[in-house]
Structure 1
């Protein structure tokens, strides 16, 4: 997504299978690219009120190219989050499918440590920036996204309430809303795995049903129905992953995937491409937004299959972004917002020139100092939780 996904082709030679690996490097790379897209998305939100059009962009202007063509892939932040959710549904499930003795309590304990502890550190980081660098409301356009969604002051009760990550939004770092759905998925994951395993043979109608539920949830404003099927589709891919890899290595599959990838990229941003004829905010636009999930699934399938797209995602830049993706996601918004309040949102090019490299550097530092050490804590939590549950079960049988 740092380049237009539609421009990526399919390899003419087979790619070595990785069926014995629980971790596909290409999926890490895709996650990293998606995280960088979210960074650019928030930069564009800062720029929009001062340099964007007041209504529909005039054809062939800069904003028209960015908002009404496949170049929207570069800044499609919400759509990048949909890709995150599909990826979570896939990669979190893989260890459970490969190990008979897999511990679900251990998974939940591990996920809590890996999700919530870095998030709490990110809230502390954002709050520190808010205290150290005073935010003057007059520095940003009134009524803009920055003025409405990013706080310029704080109170202890508000800060303490936000640490639950479950009560309303998280103004200090409002990208953290996604974590409540990541945790919800962890809690229902055993049921998702059973359903996907039972229905995996009928993957097409099952996938269509899940897509339909997601569309219904998006149109009806039912968040659980709109988001949880996204994770389930990732779980369905995980159950069918070996078959997908075998199929993707055939010559006919490479031709099919060469078409699937650009179509999926277009479908992923369909709401923006159709905005001139399907006004945003309408039920029809919400339905189109739900259908965009199909594009996210197609992109993940192409990344998991034996394609050149996978090879590109295994390159050094996507892999670096993938390594720091969660940390980058956690710290970038407070940095961009702080610079926008400090320099004024009318100086958004300077905010971007300073903020994007600084976010990357801070993401790397946060990964090294916070996230990576917590990986070890998460592994210990996983083992301890599994052992505690096992001991309790044995004690109950005596």
Structure 2
């Protein structure tokens, strides 16, 4: 939703957080359209993550050693803008910006927003589906044994994906706080989603106070992300990406107004193209800036800026927005979280069953099967939990409110 952030005049000083008020400034229909576009972008990003893992399965079997030969299949896939189709890590950064932007919007609607209710709701909506996904992955592991000889030695599948049953390790995985979650590797991102949820009130206050200086604030966040990536400091690498999303949410009305101006359409096309190229700059410039170098890590840190640009264009660029509002992106957006949670166990199971040398068959069967499984998981697990999350939100808010009232009376 596009919102207007207002504050009481205070002789030029920055507004107090308690003075922040938000109200819709565009018709409801347009608000829904813009949110639909962001849903579509989330769906496209989730599907890109699926294709990314198909590519990881194929890589040890089909990628020649060394730098891809110009005009070869891997050169087209890895050294041209076609990399956008399989840029999994970059798609995750888009997820993080979207979370920062969309999750904060309800808090911008009212000053008395219930933060305890918000945290309770987020725990239900993130943690319970993740636990169900780990249980699903464990079930597949029991049904289809994962024999080491079925995958290339020292490949991503051999090193990163759980291949044997281990109760102690499984229990640890349910915490989601480890560096990796081998039962369902994609769940590493939920640790940062949880931390962002806890830090959101602070992020919102900072974004509101710095809304007039959004450009230096945004560049500072990008700079922190670059420093974190180069230095291997994961909190600095990922948390500023969420803050960039919050900053976009606070500036939505200004973005909305500018996007309606006469020259905005051409500028948005340029922003979208540059943002897309920035997302895969590490791959495009690999012949010049070797992967693994500090320069390459700096390019990875700059990808957050590309993710922000893509999210802004999804809401502001009319043609791009209409593309994301079509049926397929909207369907993928509706099941995006479920698809993200369950696709990797499906693909890994097929790869161990058929052998990673049969990666074309794994992809042809696994991608539609992952989408179908994601739809089923959404209907059976995620969608029912939405009601539980709403109940948890109301219950937590009321419990804290009763406690505060009782404490005042006492």
> Does the alignment pair 1:397 with 2:408?
yes
Q: For residue 242 of structure 1, what is the aligned residue in structure 2? A: 253
Once the 2 structures are TM-superposed, how far is the Cα of residue 101 of structure 1 from its aligned partner? 2.2
- Aligned residues of 2:178 and 2:188 also touching (Cα < 8 A): no
TM-score, normalisation: structure 2: 0.92
Distance across 1 between alignment mates of 2:196 and 2:29: 26
Shift of 1:251: 1.7
Which residue is 1:380 aligned to?
391
Q: How does 1:1-398 map to 2 (within 5 A)?
A: 21=32, 24-398=35-409
Shift of residue 168, structure 1, vs aligned partner: 3.7
- Contact 2:148–2:158 (CA under 8 A) maintained in structure 1: yes
Query: In 1, Cα distance between the equivalents of 2:321 and 2:112?
Result: 31
Taking the aligned partners of 2:265 and 2:226, their CA distance within structure 1 comes to 29
Q: Is the 8 A contact 1:249 1:306 kept in 2?
A: no
Summarize deviations over 1:221-243 as a string: whole Å, max 9, x none.
Answer: 11001100000000000000011
Per-residue deviation at 1:17? Answer: 7.8
Relative contact order higher in (CA < 8 Å, ≥ 6 apart): 1
Q: Tell me the SS of whatever aligns to 1:171.
A: coil
Contact 1:91–1:238 (CA under 8 A) maintained in structure 2? yes
**Contact 1:43–1:348 (CA under 8 A) maintained in structure 2:** yes
1:100 is displaced (CA, Å) by: 2.3
Secondary structure of 1:64's match? Answer: helix
Give 1:355 shift.
Answer: 0.3
Q: In 2, are the aligned partners of 1:30 and 1:318 still within 8 Å (CA)?
A: yes
The answer to whether the 8 A contact 1:248-1:305 is kept is yes
Name stretches of at least 5 consecutive residues in structure 2 with no aligned partner: 1-25
Cα drift, residue 167 of structure 1: 3.1
**Structure 1 range deviating more: 99-108 or 380-389:** 99-108
Task: Give yes or no for contact 2:61–2:152 (8 Å, CA) kept in 1.
Answer: yes
Q: For 1:53 and 1:335, locate their aligned partners in 2 and report how far apart those are by CA, in whole Å.
A: 26
**Could you state the TM-score of these two structures normalised by the residue count of structure 1?**
0.95
Aligned CA-pair RMSD: 1.4
CA contact (8 A) 1:46 1:348 kept: yes
State the alpha-carbon separation in 2 of the partners of residues 247 and 17 from structure 1. 19
